């Protein structure tokens, strides 16, 4: 009994060590999350969003609002004596056209000043908001492109791995067929031409295997570079899982809207140019109205007001306005060109989706035929009319057809992601 317990404990420890050495498999969504977390372009795009958010101007100029405390010491007529005065001030630049300030001294006297610039105008706040919206759109576009690229690379590596595994078995099978053909040739059961054909098939299988090995290395390198990591083991997916991912994207949108992210960004650029043009007046004089009131702790209150109109030769801005209007016109023409380009991209994406759909249908049919051929070969094998090699070849044909279907679903998924990208 004691010996049994010791053996059981050893087995448990060995299993635990084996389990700890098994590498974790990276899922598709985990790969996307990792790429988003480490991608520098996306992080820079998010930083641009935060910078633009920080520059937003609101109705109240919060950055200009200030509270100040001033302490002043002056010498008195009595030698060695000093007088200390502390003033409390508020500065309230509420709007571009309006500002106010308040000052209170320790004796309770106060002074209020108000300045109004009725002709003051600026597109700063609007430009800041447009810049923020453009930054948000650009960040979303970078992330969308990144996610699409990672998903494609992930599936490309899975497809390359599966294709290589099947091709290794095909190459091994062709080698066996060649060796058997040589033995049969020595027994005068086959001709030399049949031996040469078997050798050519083996050579072609090895060449295909070498090409697939290169494809797998490229796929692994592509995904690893996007994840900024060494090559990783991926969580397997099958055609049914890919079909579910495709269906999760919803029905295919065949309407050409011409409203991609680049078009939305250019729409904002048109708005920015229009705001800039509207802020340039043909004649831009300066007008300032100010007033102040004093409320001493003792005595009567007093007030004063003034108005200043400033005219300068530089106030005529005809050329500046003409250039601003020209910028608006060019921005609108660029917008139309972007819409045309967007519709063309949407049409190309739709054609790619339709071609990928047709490929999936063809691969489904090819898989059904491969399975039927395998069943027929099994029956022939039982009746002694098919060799073991022919049976294995038919079985590998099924595996190859399954891989081809997986690749077709991968291409359809990628085409749908591309279509979503040009629509967004």
For 26, other C-beta atoms within 10 Å of its C-beta total: 17
For 6, other C-beta atoms within 10 Å of its C-beta total: 10
Helix and strand counts by DSSP (H, E) for the chain: 9, 6
Closest CA to 367 of 340, 407, 324, 397: 397
Closest CA to 30 of 249, 237, 218: 237
Per-residue confidence at 15, pLDDT binned at 50, 70, 90? very low
Biggest alpha carbon–alpha carbon distance for the chain = 136
pLDDT at 6 over 60: no
> What's the mean pLDDT when you consider all of the chain?
84
Measured CA to CA, the distance from residue 326 to residue 278 in angstroms comes to 12
Is residue 102 within 8 Å of residue 110, measured between CB atoms? Answer: yes
Size of the chain, expressed as the number of residues it contains: 424
Token pair of 91 as six digits: 């500065």
Token pair of 254 as six digits: 């065949």
Q: What is the pLDDT of residues 22-36, one digit of tens each?
A: 347 899 999 999 999
Per-residue confidence at 11, pLDDT binned at 50, 70, 90? very low
Q: Which residue in the block uniquely carries the two structure tokens 């050495």?
A: 21
Measured CA to CA, the distance from residue 375 to residue 367 in angstroms comes to 12
For 296, other C-beta atoms within 10 Å of its C-beta total: 14
Q: What pLDDT, on a 0 to 100 scale, did the predictor assign at position 82?
A: 58
Per-residue confidence at 54, pLDDT binned at 50, 70, 90? confident
Q: Which residue in the block uniquely carries the two structure tokens 């960004």?
A: 265
Measured CA to CA, the distance from residue 131 to residue 135 in angstroms comes to 6
Q: What's the whole-number mean pLDDT along residues 259-280?
A: 90
The reported pTM is 0.76
Q: What is the pLDDT of residues 59-75, one digit of tens each?
A: 445 555 666 666 555 55
Is residue 182 within 8 Å of residue 75, measured between CB atoms? Answer: no
Closest CA to 406 of 369, 374, 359: 359
Phi, psi of 281, deg, nearest 5 = -85, 150
pLDDT at 100 over 60: yes
**According to the CATH classification, is domain 245-282+323-424 in 3.30.300.180?**
no
Q: What is the pLDDT of residues 189-238, one digit of tens each?
A: 889 999 999 999 999 999 999 999 999 999 999 999 999 988 788 999 99
Closest CA to 50 of 125, 127, 131: 131
Nearby residues of 143 by Cβ (< 8 Å), 6 or more positions away? 36, 42, 45
Q: What is the pLDDT of residues 332-348, one digit of tens each?
A: 999 999 999 999 999 99
Give the residue with greater pLDDT, 284 vs 83.
284
- Interior CA angle at 86 toward 83 and 87, to 5°? 140
Q: What is the pLDDT of residues 139-167, one digit of tens each?
A: 999 999 999 999 999 999 999 999 999 99
């Amino acid at each position: 009994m004691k010996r049994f317990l010791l053996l059981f404990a050893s087995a448990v420890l060995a299993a635990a060590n084996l389990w700890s050495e098994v590498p974790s498999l990276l899922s598709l969504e985990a790969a996307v999350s990792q790429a988003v977390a480490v991608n520098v372009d996306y992080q820079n795009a998010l930083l641009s969003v935060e910078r633009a958010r920080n520059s937003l101007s609101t109705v109240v100029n919060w950055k200009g609002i200030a509270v100040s405390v001033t302490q002043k010491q002056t010498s008195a007529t009595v030698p060695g004596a000093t007088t200390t005065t502390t003033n409390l001030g508020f500065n309230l630049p509420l709007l571009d056209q309006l500002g106010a300030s308040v000052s209170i001294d320790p004796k309770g006297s106060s002074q209020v000043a108000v300045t109004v610039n009725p002709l003051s105008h600026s597109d700063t706040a609007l430009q800041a908001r447009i810049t923020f919206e453009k930054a948000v759109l650009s960040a979303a576009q970078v992330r969308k492109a990144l996610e699409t690229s990672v998903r494609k690379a992930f599936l490309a590596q899975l497809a390359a791995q599966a294709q290589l595994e099947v091709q290794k078995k095909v190459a091994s099978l062709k080698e066996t067929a060649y060796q058997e053909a040589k033995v049969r040739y020595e027994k005068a059961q086959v001709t030399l031409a049949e031996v040469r054909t078997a050798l050519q098939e083996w050579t072609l299988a090895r060449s295909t295997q070498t090409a697939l090995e290169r494809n797998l290395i490229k796929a692994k390198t592509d995904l690893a570079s996007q994840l900024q990591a060494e090559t990783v083991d991926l969580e397997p997916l099958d055609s049914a899982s890919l079909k579910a991912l495709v269906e999760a994207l919803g029905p295919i949108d065949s309407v050409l809207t011409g409203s991609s992210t680049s078009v939305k960004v250019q729409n904002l650029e048109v708005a920015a140019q229009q705001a800039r043009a509207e802020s340039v007046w043909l004649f831009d004089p300066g007008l300032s109205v100010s007033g102040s009131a004093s409320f001493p702790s003792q005595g009567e209150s007093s007030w004063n007001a003034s108005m200043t109109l400033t005219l300068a030769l530089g106030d005529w801005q005809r050329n500046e306005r003409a250039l601003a209007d020209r910028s608006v016109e060019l921005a609108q023409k660029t917008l139309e060109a972007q819409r045309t380009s967007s519709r063309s991209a949407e049409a190309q994406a739709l054609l790619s989706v339709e071609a990928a759909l047709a490929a999936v249908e063809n691969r489904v049919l090819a898989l059904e035929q491969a399975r039927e051929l395998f069943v027929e070969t099994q029956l022939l094998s039982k009746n002694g009319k098919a060799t073991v090699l022919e049976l294995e070849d038919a079985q590998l044909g099924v595996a190859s057809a399954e891989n081809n279907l997986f690749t077709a679903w991968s291409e359809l998924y990628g085409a749908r992601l591309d279509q979503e990208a040009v629509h967004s």
